[in-house]
Amino acid sequence: MNGNMKNSQGVDSILGDPKKALWKMSIPLIISLLITSLYSVIDAIWVSGLGADALAGVGFVSPIFIALMGIGNGLGAGSASALSKYIGEENRQKANNGAIHTIFITVIISVITTILLLLFLKDILLGMGAGRTIDYAMDYGLILSIGSILVILSNALYGVLRGEGDASRTMYAMLFSSILNMILDPIFIYGLDLGVKGAAIATLISLLLVNVILFYWFYVKKNTYLKPFLSNYKFNKAITKDILKVGLPASLELINNALFAALFSLLLVVVASTDAVAVYSTGWRVVTIATTPIIAIATALISVIGANYGAKKYDEILVAHRYSMKIAIFLGFLAAIVVYLFAPQIVSVFAYTGTSTRLTPQLVAFLSVIVIYFPTMGYGCTSTFVFQGTGNGITAMFQTILRETVFTLAFAILLAIVLGYGEYGAWWGIILGEIVVNTITMIWADLHIKRLIKSNKE
């Protein structure tokens, strides 16, 4: 009985005061997502010691890693949205069945993804403009592709835990994995003289152990609220639909981000060089870490909104959305100030030896400019995740495509090629695209919640 009470604390949280629920979910998520961001950053720091071409080669693989993370995070978002809704409806049996559905769906999608990557990896990298760095890119990307199920599955399982309001476990697992990755990177890259292959192997070993820990909690210790056991599985078309109607669009959103990164890298090769790709991919890792607290707030919002949506407490959804925006905007301003003031010191971590030192001026310039859009991400990101929480995954996906592939890329091409501002124009394209679509998304989300409240009163 005591174990049951302990396991239900997260559930009680997401159905309670939305402001308190956001903080309780967000703090572990901020730590967790910061740790996740460290995977690629740690790789970049150690790989930069191999030279600018090695760093650029790994940079070309970054969109693929983003896509794998995106598939996992998307399925995790679909799982969290569906499971928290079932919990809000007080249907634990359906929630348990939904948890095991998540695992089966994830494994199937992971196998398909791995096969496609192994068949087309080199063509994808060459199409992105890898050129002279193709050997480095293939060394890193091939190993990562083989272990793609480890990337996808861990992130999907985090969604199951978030669905029951438990963000702390993900933090513990990811902290362990990140520390292990930090230790293994220099050993495999330099100690065993494996170069960029070593960075990929270290990452996969770390992710393998994360999955082992997650399965231990679910199937050995059995102390989670949700029980994704085979005995609780009964194929349910409605559950599959609930997970996928948010999970697939959410995955496609993040895959679209990877597509944008690939197209943007190609644009940089056209208007500048592979050095510009190294600057962008490395600088974007800093952006990812700086904006992680915003993503954490938005991710926590999915479970809080999903539970209140299932319970038809639409007024609480409005409170949660507006409160999350205030916090996220403040965090955006704070991140922008810190990155702007300490850009030279941050860059010195990546450009510390050999040919990578020549990237220093461009990296500082990139970080000094890109921070402009951080505060607008505070209200744009949280607003997009409102739609995921209410099961409107297609709408959230459309907003992301509108922001990345349509407006941002269009502004980048206009400024970089048409007006001739080169890579600096491409950076400003990102800023303009983000500002325009984030503002549209905020207004859209507010109207969506008000329609829910109005329909409930009628």
Identity of the residue numbered 125: L
- Which tokens hold the place of 37? 């961001």
**Range 137-142 average pLDDT:** 88
pLDDT band for position 332 (50/70/90)?
very high
Q: What is the mean pLDDT of residues 316-330?
A: 92
Q: What is the pLDDT of residues 65-110, one digit of tens each?
A: 877 887 888 888 888 878 888 888 888 899 999 999 999 999 999 9
Q: What's the CA gap between 50 and 163, in Å, rounded? A: 42
pLDDT value of position 350: 64
The total number of residues shown for the chain amounts to 458
d(CA 294, CA 287): 11
pLDDT of residue 203: 86
In the predicted structure, residue 402 carries a pLDDT above the cut 50: yes
Q: Is the pLDDT of residue 43 over 80?
A: no
% pLDDT > 70, the chain: 91
- Tabulate helix, strand, coil % of the chain (nearest 5): 90, 0, 10
303/78 Cα distance (integer angstroms): 10
- Count of structural domains, the chain: 1
Which of the four pLDDT bands, split at 50, 70 and 90, describes residue 3?
very low
Residue of 339, 422, 420 lying closest to 377 (CA atoms): 339
> How far apart are alpha carbons 417 and 116 in whole angstroms?
33
Residue type at 305?
A: I
Domain that holds residue 294: 2-457
First to last CA, the chain: 41
pLDDT at 252 over 80: no
pLDDT number for residue 5: 40
pLDDT for the residue numbered 1? 35
Dihedral, CA of residue 295, residue 33, residue 134 and residue 279, to nearest 10: 60
The Cα 436–Cα 209 span in angstroms is: 41
Separation between Cα atoms, residue 298 and residue 321, nearest integer Å: 9
Q: What is the CA radius of gyration of the chain?
A: 21
DSSP string, 439-456: HHHHHHHHHHHHHHHHHH
DSSP string, 120-160: HHHHHHHHTT-GGGHHHHHHHHHHHHHTHHHHHHHHHHHHH
